[in-house]
Structure 1
């Protein structure tokens, strides 16, 4: 057997690098989310959200690998939150649909990456539309019985809770993406990161 036959193929090397980059993005997102949960509590998952880790959606401006990386990181973080918040099995709603919102948002950011200010609107819209759809069930299961800051009972007021969540989740996501995310993207442009991700495969 020749020496060259023992060498890994270029495709194999690139696949390994791709998996490693996806894993690193997932790890950073999960870690940052857990820090937010530990220090800000329900502001990382509740009816009013400022999940700081969502600022990492701007990584999709540079590489398509951010999409699976962010989804994986969100799944890991939301699974951990099931134990930390006491959400129990209902926390699976956040694992599935919360991670879906992050994935859809990151995908839209990648597709609209040539216009960053518009691209980061993807995560804002995805979270604003998807998260409030399951949030009332999650909150009721955790002992919340009224819409925050009101006397309106969650039971039987799904449309009002959805509207409340659409506004608060959307605003929280917008603050994170536009106040933290876009400046982060600008800072990353001045680093070697964009060039190192230039060979990433497209979705």
Structure 2
């Protein structure tokens, strides 16, 4: 039985990594660059539903940033492979930690760590790489796109997963704290 759970979690993480990569690379004109809005960041709400999303998102980001670098699209260079993956991993851990704080059953607060970590870490990275003011890089170049992806796309995704019962069917989620 334990092997089935481990295999299920590994498969969930792999699917999330693949989805993140396909969305990022498939929408590369808006996924990479100085001003970016990674639609794949909507998936950063998934740690609220499964711990498998934590490594899945980190691996998806690592693969996406590596492909972006190989294609000449990742303007921040090799450092983004490390820092981007770190930002995603830290955000996923915090989103997971906030998973039980819900509003009408939806883990809204879990959408905030990716916005904050990416705005700060990637914003600082872009500020240094392009010699831009730190506030501009954090708030405009990264933060605005991240906010759109996580709140405008991620929260509705979570709402659909909760309200349709898909979260429970897909991830086996059954415990929530309501506020």
TM bucket normalised to smaller = 0.7 to 0.9
Match of 1:108 in 2: 94
TM-score (norm 1): 0.75
Report which of the two structures shows the higher radius of gyration computed on alpha carbons.
1
Indicate the RMSD between aligned Cα atoms, in angstroms: 2.1
Question: 1:196 pairs with 170, 174, 179, which one?
Answer: 170
Is contact 1:48-1:172 (8 Å) kept?
Answer: yes
Unmatched tracts of structure 2, length 5 or more:
174-179
Once the two structures are superposed, the pairs formed by residues 1-203 of structure 1 within 5 Å of their partners are 10-37=1-28, 41=29, 43-85=30-72, 91-113=77-99, 114-115=101-102, 116-139=107-130, 154=131, 160=133, 162-168=134-140, 169-189=142-162, 190-198=164-172
* Cα distance, 1:120 vs structure 2: 0.8
Unmatched tracts of structure 1, length 5 or more:
1-9, 140-153
1:167 and 1:175 map into 2 onto residues whose CA distance is 12
1:119 and 1:93 map into 2 onto residues whose CA distance is 26
TM-score (norm 2): 0.84
Cα shift readout 1:106-129 (whole Å, capped 9, x = no counterpart): 221111122322221111100011
